[in-house]
Amino acid sequence: MSMVDIINKKRLGSKLSDHEIEEAFLGYDRGEIPDYQMSALLMAICANGMCEDEVFKLTDVFIRSGDMLDLSEVEGTTVDKHSTGGVGDKTTLIVAPIVASLGVKVPKMSGRGLGHTGGTIDKLESIPGFRVDLSEQEFIQQLNTVGFSIISQTAHLAPLDKKIYALRDVTGTVESIPLIASSIMSKKIASGADKIVLDVKVGKGALLKTQEDAIEISRLMKKIGEHYGKEVDTMITYMDIPLGTSIGNALEILEVMKILSNEENNYLVALSKALAAKMVQLGLGIPIEEASRRVEDSIKTGKAYEKFMEMIESQGGNIGELRVSGYTKDIPSSKKGHIIGMDAYQFGKLSLDLGGGRKTKEDKIDPRVGIVLKKKIGDDVEVGEILCTLYTKEEGYNLEEDITNYYTFSEEKDQPLSSTNLF
């Protein structure tokens, strides 16, 4: 069948055979199918979806385009974690040391930030000396000694997904449940962990905007896991507001250290504990209540903090050299009221504009810049009170926009967002 026939078949809503999926996607990988034809097929998939068999086949094609990481030399159970990403999302850095301190191995390959969302690897690179490029052997060795390691995703893992993702990014074909599910799961399966916990984000700052979509993708990703004999658990969590109190690379590392020192208590902390408990439950095969109790203990006793520091040191990082910018600017509120909303997307963009992210793949990040939020959902604010502090590259940073507009105020003290207890 020609590529045009395959595109037409999907455009009319029919199921593609295994052979047709291979022809189209492997053909694209070999450079035989041009971008415009693959874009048309992706758009037809966005419009008409894929059935489970098609999603399994596509995931398989992505996995087989690269290498599978062999973690058989790692002693004990390995549990991986993936978050569909967001603003101020530092959950991996909190969850992994907690889980590793409780005897479950966490092999974590992470990505860099793109657009308004941050990436774990950029956050870790704000620590001078930190190596994100351990060899496979070093990665496995650290898993056996420290219990967890966080490295940059290697180029050999599902490389065809990377190519297709880059095309989706510029053709309006990112937001498709079968395409997102096969993209994420191909990388998770190729990464080799025994079990996987997925943090599926829903809301304004997330890829998935409705709970129905989040439920559907969770179901599908579990099915893909089952197909490969992997136990997968998911949590649907909320991504309308920035997670935690800091946005920006070095600032977020400092926030992680505070959380692991048991000095914070907010939605991010609750979310991280819940994710960690799920990973411990899966990894040790114990009831969730017992897993939650151990997670609390790990933070209270300082074990999780020590584990975090052990990982940083083992990967060459010098935490004493971590720096945030010395130039700060307090942002006063131009309105009075009760905060009922904060626009995660706008805060992510602001951090990007301050130099904390990349606008093109070649941009260099300034790890010292970012935002510290002083007011949160549910707080009452008077005109002139400080909403947040910007850490800027230089003194006298001027903003054209009023950041007060990133907040939604209510005159009444009504319910703070009900979805803050989504999980």
CA distance between the termini of the chain:
46
Q: Between residue 189 and residue 228, which ones bind ligand URA under the rule CB under 6 A?
A: 207
Let me know if 64 is a catalytic residue. Answer: no
By beta-carbon distance, which residue lies closest to ligand URA?
A: 183
Using alpha carbons only, what angle is made at residue 100 by residues 95 and 105, rounded to the nearest 5 degrees? 110
Backbone angles phi, psi at 378, to 5 degrees: 95, -15
Smallest separation (angstroms) from ligand URA to the CB of 184:
5
154 vs 281, which CB is nearer to ligand URA? 154
Smallest distance from the beta carbon of 175 to ligand URA, in angstroms?
Answer: 9
Tokens of 315: 């990967």
Closer residue to ligand URA in complex, CB, 65/183? 183
Place of tokens 């006063």: 332
Catalytic residue among 65, 149, 183, 218: 183
Cα 198 to Cα 180: distance, rounded to the nearest angstrom: 13
Q: Coil, helix or strand for 309?
A: helix
Nearer to ligand URA, 184 or 282 (CB): 184
Residues 205, 327, 325, 304, CA torsion sign: negative
What is the smallest separation between the CB atom of 14 and ligand URA, expressed in angstroms?
23
Residue span 82-101 as binding mask against ligand URA, x where in contact by CB under 6 A, dash where not? --x-----------------
- 299, 256 in Cβ contact below 8 A? no
Nearer to ligand URA, 193 or 257 (CB): 193
Sequence length of the chain is: 423
Binding mask 152-181 for ligand URA (x = CB under 6 A): -------------x-------------xx-
CA dihedral 386→390→396→398, nearest 10 degrees, is: -90
CB of 341 to ligand URA, least distance (A): 24
Q: Give the C-alpha separation, 54 to 21, whole Å.
A: 8
SS3 75: coil
Of 148 and 165, CB closest to ligand URA: 165
62 near ligand URA (CB under 6 A)? no
Q: Which residues contact 51 (CB under 8 A, 6 or more apart)?
A: 15
User: Is 278 annotated in the active site?
Assistant: no
Among 332, 136, 366, 416, which Cα is nearest to 249's? 366
DSSP symbols for 176-242: -HHHHHHHHHHHHHHTT-SEEEEEEEESTTSSB-SHHHHHHHHHHHHHHHHHTT-EEEEEEEE-SS-
Nearer to ligand URA, 198 or 280 (CB): 198
Quote the least distance from Cβ 85 to ligand URA, whole Å. Answer: 7
Output the smallest distance, CB 76 to ligand URA, in A: 27
Catalytic entry in 168, 188, 195, 222: 168
In the annotation, is 183 catalytic? Answer: yes
Whole-number Å distance between alpha carbons of 359 and 308: 30
Sole residue written with tokens 């819940």: 274
Q: 111 with 191: CB under 8 angstroms? A: no
161: annotated active-site residue: yes
> Could you say which of 7, 184, 200, 243 contacts ligand URA (CB under 6 A)?
184
Q: What is the distance, to the nearest Å, from the Cα of residue 284 to the centroid of all Cα atoms in its chain?
A: 24
In the three-class reduction of DSSP (H, G, I as helix; E, B as strand; rest coil), residue 392 is classed as strand
Q: Measured from the CB of residue 165, what is the shortest distance to ligand URA in angstroms?
A: 6
Using CB under 6 A, pick the residue from 117, 183, 191, 246 that binds ligand URA.
183
Q: Does residue 187 carry a catalytic annotation? A: yes
Please count the residues of this chain forming the interface with ligand URA, following the rule CB under 6 A. 7
User: Smallest distance from the beta carbon of 207 to ligand URA, in angstroms?
Assistant: 6
Which of 60, 161, 240, 343 is labelled catalytic? 161
Binding stretches for ligand URA (CB under 6 A): 84, 165, 179-180, 183-184, 207
> Which residues are designated catalytic?
82, 161, 168, 183, 187
